[in-house]
Chains A and B, each alone.
Chain A
């Protein structure tokens, strides 16, 4: 009978432990952001900040929420669309508003195209999107402040490493 009690206690203890669920919240990961670094076009190994940078997603009326607006930055992380295979961003150098509200900075548009890879992370997270075969395309105009774009890492699976270098 004593053995039975020990067995019962053991089973209850294991069930109590097993029922503590850590997997209802998502801690395993996230859909990654695209990391862009700005480099000097004349000295391609040196980071160069973009003064008063403003980043707006094409089709959106507000600036990208992961970039502090109109500040001098040399690295930005921006979200790509998870429901489409391409995302365009407007990057404004020296952004400022004129008296009538119009933009006075230099406006360049980059279109990122990619392949979306679905990844099931865990019960709590479900599916996230990773990106592969990343390509960047600059819309050329008379006064591009962006001189060159280089894809460092065409696979976007985390926001820890740089994916794109922009030279200016």
Chain B
């Protein structure tokens, strides 16, 4: 029986030793303060410039900008101008106009010490004003009795529809990587949802600058951009991420 007592007291003694060792702080706090840069970043979309030079039927550019508001939150905007001529089966049209997108990006990428990269989700409200020109068209007719070889000609005289506009919401998924100091390369894909548009009764909006192709009977559209931008640091501020880590450590101790 005494052997049990000996064992028990031994066990309790060990527990005592363990609990006593805890309050001793063997890891003193790191006194080095890591400050992060805040500022504005301005750039251009490369894809639109490259497409402009390769595609005769497209002309466009886009300026991108963002401002770091909080450690993970950026106010972002895109301003652009596009012109696109499209040949469909029986008609040819040109759309040209400008657009502005304003919104926020939320960085979800946990950077290591010294890194300034982003993988973000964002939202935009976008507005575009543009005009359509119907360059030429033929009439669709499955019956070929009167025109055996081709569809009959509607018009070859360009017809202009101006004063058109569209407003849409955009969900953005993108990334931004620091190539060199303060020089960033970015890419994003966008899903747009048209909430309002002004179109002509005779010829609807089939393509909207900044929004891309408008699918018939659907308000959704997709787009993308590849940007290169320069980050201009305005001020530095200590990041609050460290606090979080301390908190999680204290949580562990309580357990």
- Chain A, interface size category, equals 35 or more
18 A-B residue pairs with Cβ-Cβ distance under 8 Å, sorted by A, are A3-B108, A11-B173, A18-B218, A19-B222, A23-B216, A30-B142, A60-B145, A65-B144, A65-B145, A81-B152, A83-B147, A120-B202, A120-B204, A125-B90, A126-B89, A126-B90, A126-B91, A127-B138
Residue A21 at the chain B interface, CB threshold 8 Å: yes
Which residues A98-150 have CB closer than 8 A to chain B?
118, 120-129
| B108 and A30 form a contact (CB under 8 A) | no
- In the complex, what distance in Å separates the CA atom of A31 from the CA atom of B216? 19
A72 within 8 A of B: no
| B191 in contact (CB, < 8 A) | yes
Q: How far apart are B105's CB and chain A's nearest CB, in angstroms?
A: 13
Determine if B183 is an interface residue (Cβ-Cβ < 8 Å). Answer: no
Question: How far, in whole Å, are A76 and B158 apart by their CA atoms in the complex?
Answer: 38
Tell whether, in the assembled complex, residue A123 and residue B88 are in contact, meaning their CB atoms are under 8 Å apart: yes
Q: Are A30 and B141 in contact (CB under 8 A)?
A: yes
Q: What is the minimal beta-carbon distance from B81 to any residue of chain A, in angstroms?
A: 24
Q: Do A57 and B145 contact each other (CB < 8 Å), given the known contacts A82-B152, A127-B137, A127-B140?
A: yes
Q: Number of B interface residues at 8 Å Cβ cutoff, please give it.
A: 37
Q: Is A152 an interface residue (CB 8 A)?
A: no
Whether a CB of chain A sits under 8 angstroms from the CB of B10 is no
Chain B residues with CB under 8 A of A15: 189, 191, 222
A63 (CB) vs chain B CBs: closest residue:
B145
A26 to B138, CA, bound (A): 14
Residues of A within 8 A of B152 (CB): 81-83
Residues of A within 8 A of B221 (CB): 18
Are A18 and B220 within 8 A (Cβ)? Answer: yes
Compute how far the CA of A23 lies from the CA of B216 in the bound complex, rounded to whole angstroms.
6
A64 close to B (CB within 8 Å): yes
* B171 within 8 A of partner (CB): yes
Q: With A120-B202, A126-B89, A127-B91 as given contacts, are A66 and B220 in contact (CB-CB < 8 Å)?
A: no
B145 contacts A64, C-beta separation under 8 Å? yes
Interface string of B72-96 (1 = CB under 8 A from A): 0000000000000000111100000
B residues within 8 A CB of A65?
143-145
Chain B residues within an 8 Å CB radius of A81 = 146, 152
**Given known A-B contacts A11-B189, A18-B191, A83-B146, A127 and B139 have beta carbons under 8 A apart:** yes
A33 CA / B218 CA spacing, docked (Å): 30
Residues of chain A having any CB pair with chain B under 8 Å:
1, 3-4, 7-8, 11, 14-15, 18-19, 21-23, 26, 30-31, 33, 57, 60, 64-66, 79, 81-83, 87, 118, 120-129
B32: shortest Cβ distance to chain A, in Å?
26
- Do A82 and B146 have beta carbons less than 8 Å apart? yes
Q: A11 contacts B89, CB within 8 Å? A: no
- How far apart sit A138 and B253, CA to CA, in the bound complex (Å)? 102
Is the pair A18, B222 in contact by a Cβ cutoff of 8 Å? yes
- Expressed in whole angstroms, the minimum distance between the Cβ of B245 and any Cβ of chain A is 16
The answer to the question of B121 belonging to the interface, with a C-beta cut-off of 8 Å to chain A, is yes
Interface residues in B190-218 by Cβ distance below 8 A to A read: 191, 202-204, 206, 215-218
Interface check B233, CB cutoff 8 A: no
B153 within 8 A of A: yes
Cβ distance B223 to chain A, nearest Cβ, rounded Å: 10
Q: Considering only CB atoms, which chain B residue lies closest to A16 in the complex?
A: B222
| CB-CB nearest in chain B for A5 | B108
Given A15-B191, A82-B152, A126 contacting B143 (CB threshold 8 A): no
